[in-house]
Amino acid sequence: MTALDLSSPVAVVGTGTMGQGIAQVALVAGHPVRLYDAVPGRAREAAAAIGDRLDRLVSKNRLAASDRDIARARLVAAESLADLADCGLVVEAVLERLDVKQELLRHLEDVVGEDCLLATNTSSLSVTAIGGALRNPGRFVGLHFFNPAPLLPLVEVVSGYATDVTSATRAYETARSWGKTPVACADTPGFIVNRIARPFYAEAFAVYEAQGADPATIDAVLRESGGFRMGAFELTDLIGQDVNESVTLSVWQSFFQDVRFTPSLAQRRLVESGRLGRKTGHGWFDYRDDGAGAESTEPHTAEKQQAPAYVLAEGDLGPAAELLALIREAGIQVRADEEDHGTRLVLPGGGQLALADGQTSVEFRDVVYFDLALDYRKATRIALSASQDTSQQTLSEAIGLFQALGKDVSVIGDVPGMIVARTVARIVDLAHDAVAKGVATEEDIDTAMRLGVNYPLGPFEWSRRLGRMWAFSLLDDLHERDPSGRYAPSLALYRHSFATEKREGGAS
């Protein structure tokens, strides 16, 4: 099944931001485009707005003036649904309400031809449920674009329970012909991106609710150590707290209140207070001119400490092995304990420094944990975690060590799994679970998470880099300390980890 022919008109019903963006994508790709909105005059306004954006593309030399003029001639504001009768594809981008979408699609089915592909841009509703109102749900598919649609390359092509393979394939190839990067996805709550991305927000909020660190510090660690483009607090302020919470609630409720997707009470209070983020001038952070009473936007950064003269390496530090080379390059002696197979550093005062593993510092004598980094050489900040029983000497030596490597250091509370480590482990777990349940392939999940939410690595790329047992071991330790089920490793991750262990080490 090939992509929709360029001569075939494409219609977009609903002319808000997403509707306009999708229409612009189809228009620039070469299709005649029809815009329809139930509110009189709204379609004409949307067509004018798209024309203005095409003008801006010309002014930036991203579109030839002649191509703009041709595109404008192909754009029509439809007066009624009947004007969409000859379209080969109709995409609805109306209000996120099941009844509204079903009623619209029933009317469309009476208007368009039998070979017309019908699609929804829903981000939170079930494609199967929307299509359930149709006489022929086999031609109905999800085409989930990301905002802004003209700029972001990802499109999730979602097959409902009744979607025909030929319809899904045509939608996939059409999106690709428009210059997008499509990924195939089964109809599951949140699809790929909004399902697997939940821990990025949830774990940041959980650390905050546990008073482990303030929003600015958590965001800084996610950016400067984890390699994420934005932190969870600043990103949800940008998205809108109400919008982000709505998606979380939808996924949680659709999974029958699965504890892994539990919403944040702190975010609920923020929404209830009307602090919705940038659009209201105040969210986690204050964007008003006076900034009165706002959370500080500056992360906690430890004061300068003296670097230790040496460290004793017990083992290779696992995913943090690169630190040993960095320590040597900083002029600090690394003494190796060849017989010890642990993964930690012993500091001159006798305290230990270990990579976050899902345990807490208070369980051990004089231990400081350090967080996971995407790239320890490039990271500009490292988080450390200590308990009230950790000696000041050990904490000072740990701070001084990382400062000697050119890193800013943020000391957080005794939070198991810290910030980056627990977030990445949960993302990896949900990704494995999704593949095992037929949601999408490993390749499509990695592509979706890199392009849809700008993650520095896809979950499976991260999993391969960190080792097959890493995520399982960390989550298993976290689950022991929080037996609610939130951190229980999925059966898919268990199988993935231990099947490999058995092949490599043999049965005992």
Active site residues: 123, 144, 156, 194
Residues 141 and 167: beta-carbon distance below 8 Å: yes
Q: How many residues does the chain have?
A: 508
Amino acid (one-letter) located at 508: S
Residue 505: helix, strand or coil by DSSP?
A: helix
Q: Is 504 exposed, middle or buried (0-12, 13-18, 19+ CB in 10 A)?
A: exposed
Say if residue 416 is preceded by a cis peptide, omega within 30 of 0: no
Residues 171 and 143: beta-carbon distance below 8 Å: yes
Beta bridge mates, 385: 369, 412
Residue 421: helix, strand or coil by DSSP?
A: helix
Give the C-alpha separation, 283 to 240, whole Å.
8
Give the C-alpha separation, 402 to 383, whole Å.
10
Edge-to-edge strand ranges of the sheet holding 140-145: 75-77, 33-36, 10-13, 89-92, 117-120, 140-145, 154-159, 181-186
Work out whether strand 310-314 and strand 344-346 pair parallel, antiparallel, or are unpaired.
antiparallel
Candidates 240, 201, 222, 182; CA nearest to 452 is: 182
Give the C-alpha separation, 188 to 439, whole Å.
7
Pull the structure tokens for residue 478.
């976290």
Give the C-alpha separation, 227 to 231, whole Å.
10
Give the C-alpha separation, 136 to 105, whole Å.
11
Give the C-alpha separation, 417 to 278, whole Å.
30
Give the C-alpha separation, 8 to 29, whole Å.
12
